């Protein structure tokens, strides 16, 4: 009796368990979400297609998640897909609810290329006469074809690389789908910079009133700038366009400058060189006791040397600073010497004439003096 009762209890438990499992099964969610997608879709290559663009409707009485998969670049969360090339691709749209029920739909996506390549252009800075490499200043990238830099065409008809200025170059490129891009880039042509400067002389010596030309040599040869000239002491020597002119005795330095390059020349200015000396008279006749003044004229007039005077017969006539005095009858030569130059005047000394003596006597009388005649 006890055994039968025990069996009834076990059977009852099993029936309850089976009924519980059956009820749970009948009451559990086994329905996938309702998913409606678009049949076809056209996408731009390189642009991400979001899941919302392919789903027309999705519904479920619990939470759900929709993801994408297919022959393209799918994001890590499955919410978007990107097509790197043109063509037709099947994309699977899958909806999964909280119970794990899932449903899938396939959308046919056609990827097209309507985006032109992207041109990136940098400003080019060059110098006069230098060949321009335009490809170093441009980069062309296409979402489908990739790097198209080598296919870039450049029009530089508005660029004069032989003249300083700012110009515009035009860059164009076309991808395999026929999309064309154009960009403009600035080209700045600067003057050539001097990298070396030399003068024809490092030292100059100038006598008075002389001048000399300094010739500058600048490299590179196509340098087109202007050499600037300065004198450390314009009171000694001046300079203009390389022409150095004597001003006064002394020393100075002439400096030439081309851009940042400099060259110098040491200049020594000597005294004015005498070219000639002459007297205002070549001969003169004097009576004893009288005097005259000889004028020495030097050339150039700004010669600053000293003129020395000498009489060939100091007892007949003497001379001091050009003043000649007749001492006794006779003949002599007065010499004026300036540097290496000489000039001579012949002086004839005679006895005083009677007229001269009477004039002297009358002068003494009128002045209250006395005069003893030699008659």
Mean local confidence (pLDDT), 140-161 = 94
Whether residue 363 lies inside any domain: the answer is no
Mean local confidence (pLDDT), 16-34 = 58
The confidence band for 5, taking pLDDT boundaries of 50, 70 and 90, is low
- Kindly state the tokens that stand for 98: 């909280």
What's the half-sphere exposure (Cβ side, CA atoms, 13 Å) at 337?
8
Are 280 and 350 found together in one domain? yes
Bond before 300 cis per omega within 30 degrees: yes
Mean local confidence (pLDDT), 15-36 = 61
The confidence band for 132, taking pLDDT boundaries of 50, 70 and 90, is very high
- Kindly state the tokens that stand for 355: 């007229």
Res 12 pLDDT > 70: no
Among candidate residues 57, 86, 112, the one where a domain is terminated: 112
The confidence band for 14, taking pLDDT boundaries of 50, 70 and 90, is low
Are 178 and 232 found together in one domain? no
Among candidate residues 156, 174, 190, the one where a domain is terminated: 190
Picking from 2-16, 64-78, 86-100, which range would have the lowest pLDDT averaged per residue?
A: 2-16
Are 220 and 237 found together in one domain? yes
The confidence band for 24, taking pLDDT boundaries of 50, 70 and 90, is very low
259: domain CATH number is 2.60.40.1080
Q: Give the whole-angstrom CA distance, residue 300 versus residue 195.
A: 44
Are 345 and 281 found together in one domain? yes
47: domain CATH number is 2.60.40.10
Whether residue 343 lies inside any domain: the answer is yes
| pLDDT tens sequence across 36-92 | 999 999 999 989 999 999 999 988 777 888 888 888 889 899 999 999 899 999 999
Nearest to 227 by CA among 201, 202, 264, 190: 264
Mean local confidence (pLDDT), 119-134 = 94
The confidence band for 213, taking pLDDT boundaries of 50, 70 and 90, is very high
Are 181 and 232 found together in one domain? no
Are 287 and 352 found together in one domain? yes
| pLDDT tens sequence across 297-342 | 988 887 778 899 999 999 999 999 999 999 999 999 999 998 888 9
Q: Domain residues for 260?
A: 196-269
* Secondary structure, 3-state, the chain: CHHHHHHHHHHHHHHHHHHHHHHHHHHCCCCCCEEEECCEEEEECCCCEEHHHHEEEEECCCCEEEEEEECCEECCCCCEEECCCCEEEEEEEEEEECCCCEEEEEEEEEEECCCCCEEEECCEEEECCCCCCHHHHEEEEECCCEECHHHCEEECCCCCCCCCEEEEEEEEEECCCCCEEEEEEEEEEECCCCCEEEECCCEEEECCCCEEECCEEEECCCCCCCCEEEECCCCCEEEECCEEEECCCEEEEEEEEECCEEEEEEEEECCCCCCEEEECCCEEEEECCCEEECCEEEECCCCCCCEEEEECCCCCEEEECCEEEECCCEEEEEEEEECCEEEEEEEEEECCCHHHHHHHHHHHHHCCCCCCCCC
Q: Give the whole-angstrom CA distance, residue 296 versus residue 278.
A: 6
Check if the beta carbon of residue 230 is closer than 8 Å to that of residue 254: yes
Dihedral angle over CA of 157, 159, 161, 163, nearest 10? 120
236 or 61, which is more confident:
236
Are 220 and 259 found together in one domain? yes
Angle at 208 between CA 203 and CA 212, to 5 degrees: 40
Q: Express as a percent the part of the chain with pLDDT over 90.
A: 67
Q: Give the whole-angstrom CA distance, residue 237 versus residue 251.
A: 8
Picking from 151-155, 197-201, 209-213, 257-261, which range would have the lowest pLDDT averaged per residue?
A: 209-213
Quote the number of domains for the chain. Answer: 4
Are 39 and 76 found together in one domain? yes
pLDDT at 361: 65
| pLDDT tens sequence across 334-370 | 999 988 889 999 999 999 876 666 666 666 667 665 4
Are 350 and 281 found together in one domain? yes
* Model pTM score: 0.55
Are 142 and 206 found together in one domain? no
Other beta carbons within 10 angstroms of residue 19's beta carbon come to 10
pLDDT at 25: 41
Sign for the CA dihedral angle at 247, 249, 252, 257 comes to: positive
Res 212 pLDDT > 60: yes
């Amino acid at each position: 009796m006890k055994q039968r009762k025990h069996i009834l209890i076990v059977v009852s438990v099993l029936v309850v368990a089976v009924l519980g499992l059956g009820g749970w099964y009948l009451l559990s969610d086994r329905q996938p979400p309702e998913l409606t997608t678009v049949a076809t879709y056209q996408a731009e290559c390189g642009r991400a297609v979001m899941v919302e663009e392919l789903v027309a409707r999705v519904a479920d009485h619990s939470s759900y998640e929709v993801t994408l998969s297919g022959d393209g670049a799918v994001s890590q969360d499955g919410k978007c897909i990107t097509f790197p090339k043109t063509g037709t691709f099947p994309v699977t749209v899958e909806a999964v609810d909280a119970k794990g029920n899932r449903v899938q739909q396939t959308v046919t996506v056609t990827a097209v290329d309507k985006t032109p390549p992207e041109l990136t252009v940098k400003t080019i800075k060059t110098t006069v006469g230098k060949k321009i490499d335009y490809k170093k200043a441009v980069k062309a990238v296409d979402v489908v074809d990739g790097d198209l830099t080598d296919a870039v065409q450049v029009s530089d008809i508005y660029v004069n690389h032989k003249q300083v200025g700012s110009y515009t170059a035009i860059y164009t490129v076309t991808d395999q789908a026929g999309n064309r891009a154009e960009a403009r880039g600035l080209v700045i042509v600067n003057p050539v910079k001097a990298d070396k400067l030399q003068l024809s002389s490092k030292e100059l010596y100038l006598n008075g009133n002389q001048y000399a030309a300094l010739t500058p040599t600048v490299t590179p040869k196509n340098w087109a700038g202007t050499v600037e000239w300065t004198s450390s002491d314009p009171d000694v020597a001046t300079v203009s366009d390389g022409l150095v002119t004597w001003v006064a005795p002394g020393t100075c330095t002439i400096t030439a400058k081309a851009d940042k390059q400099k060259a110098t020349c040491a200049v020594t200015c000597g005294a004015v060189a005498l070219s000639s000396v002459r007297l205002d008279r070549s001969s003169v006749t004097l009576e004893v006791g009288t005097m005259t003044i000889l004028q020495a004229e030097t050339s150039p007039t700004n010669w600053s040397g000293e003129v020395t005077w000498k009489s060939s017969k100091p007892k007949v006539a003497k001379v001091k600073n050009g003043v000649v005095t007749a001492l006794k009858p006779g003949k002599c030569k007065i010499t004026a010497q300036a540097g290496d130059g000489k000039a001579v005047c012949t002086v004839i000394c005679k006895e005083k004439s009677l007229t001269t003596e009477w004039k002297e006597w009358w002068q003494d009388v009128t002045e209250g003096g006395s005069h003893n005649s030699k008659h």
